Amino acid sequence: MKTRTLGQGLEVSAIGLGCMGMSQSFGELPDRDEMVTFLREAVDRGVTFFDTAEVYGPYDNEELVGKGLAPVRDRVVIATKFGFDIDPENTGVMHGPDSSPEQIRRAVDGSLQRLGVDHIDLLYQHRVDPDVPIEDVAGTVKELIEAGKVGHFGLSEAGVDTIRRAHAVQPVTALQSEYSLFWRRPEQGALAVCAELGIGFVPFSPLGRGFLTGTVDTSTTFGEGDIRANLPRFEKEALAANMAVVEMVRDFAERKGATPGQIALAWLLAQQPWIVPIPGTRKLHRLEENIAAADVELSESELAELTKAADEITVVGDRYPEAMEKMTNR
């Protein structure tokens, strides 16, 4: 596996692994022991960058990731996130964002325990809290870094001004936001500020929640617990219109001798050398397919062709329901 460097010199595998789907959001959950094995198989294949969060489950995903990676802790970079007020009496209920200094400290201590580690390699603010100045957030993480509990500071779905203000207090290592051929808003400022400040960019949902792999179409039924059942872009009419994106990527992939998913990942990797996508999967053959995308080379002309074709397609439907979208780009 090739490696890439995020901000502040943090070196990770060129393709990471998003672990959320092992504990929530995509229908029936897989067997826990199988996922423990799967995490170790990912490391055996060169993946060193693993992404989790306290709200995935909640809590279950950190425990799973911690157990799976315990034997190989010295070979991996573990990223987790804080930023939500989880009901202590009912962990299935969240009361909204909370990035108060006290909550950050509580969240970090909980994450350290669940992950079974003595420090968190990369700690993200999961969503910007409009009620807490970002300077206070960055200052609290800075103290945690100085205390040895955290290695690096990251932001997720943050706006450009927020990134600048946070970075002035504690250098930001990575911005994690959704980015793919299916969602390109980071091109409207976020990537430019990352380039300017030396911040790495970590795209989540780089395969459009599976859409860009070509395995989802208008006949697909999303089962109970699958987040896509409630996302506007996955409604029947929107899906029918958005198949134009998949068909474009599939046609290109056939000519290139790759899979649609590999082309979607290769396109992201070609944007900047400090971009590290974290596709999520629970299947070994998909993991191997994703990893192989790091070896798919796109020439300048191929990249331009793919980008131009994507520019000519209008994606239909919002990314999230309104309430969820309001929590992004703050």
What is the predicted pLDDT for the residue at 133?
A: 98
User: What is the pTM for the complete model shown?
Assistant: 0.97
**pLDDT per position as a tens digit, 289-311:** 999 999 999 999 999 999 999 99
Does the annotation mark 320 as catalytic? no
Q: Is the pLDDT of residue 90 over 80?
A: no
Q: Is the pLDDT of residue 89 over 80?
A: no
Q: Is the pLDDT of residue 236 over 90?
A: yes
**pLDDT per position as a tens digit, 249-287:** 999 999 999 999 999 999 999 999 999 999 999 999 999
What is the predicted pLDDT for the residue at 53?
A: 98
Confidence of residue 118 (pLDDT cuts 50, 70, 90): very high
Report, in angstroms and rounded to the nearest whole number, the Rg of the chain calculated over CA atoms: 19
CATH of range 3-325; options 3.40.50.920, 3.20.20.100, 3.30.450.270, 3.20.20.480: 3.20.20.100
Q: What DSSP line would sit under 129-172, residue for residue?
A: -TTS-HHHHHHHHHHHHHTTSEEEEEEES--HHHHHHHHHHS-E
Q: Is the pLDDT of residue 35 over 90?
A: yes
Domain range summary for the chain, segments of one domain joined by +: 3-325
Structural contact between residues 58 and 90, judged by C-beta atoms closer than 8 angstroms: no
**pLDDT per position as a tens digit, 176-217:** 999 999 999 999 999 999 999 999 999 999 999 999 999 999
Marked catalytic residue, from 56, 59, 124, 320: 56
What is the predicted pLDDT for the residue at 70?
A: 98
Q: How far apart are CA 124 and CA 39, in angstroms?
A: 21
Q: Is the pLDDT of residue 160 over 90?
A: yes
What is the predicted pLDDT for the residue at 322?
A: 92
Q: Is the pLDDT of residue 92 over 80?
A: no
Q: Which residues pair with 49 in a beta bridge?
A: 77
Closest C-alpha among 39, 44, 128, 109 to residue 78 = 39
What is the predicted pLDDT for the residue at 154?
A: 99
Q: Is the pLDDT of residue 97 over 80?
A: yes
Confidence of residue 87 (pLDDT cuts 50, 70, 90): confident
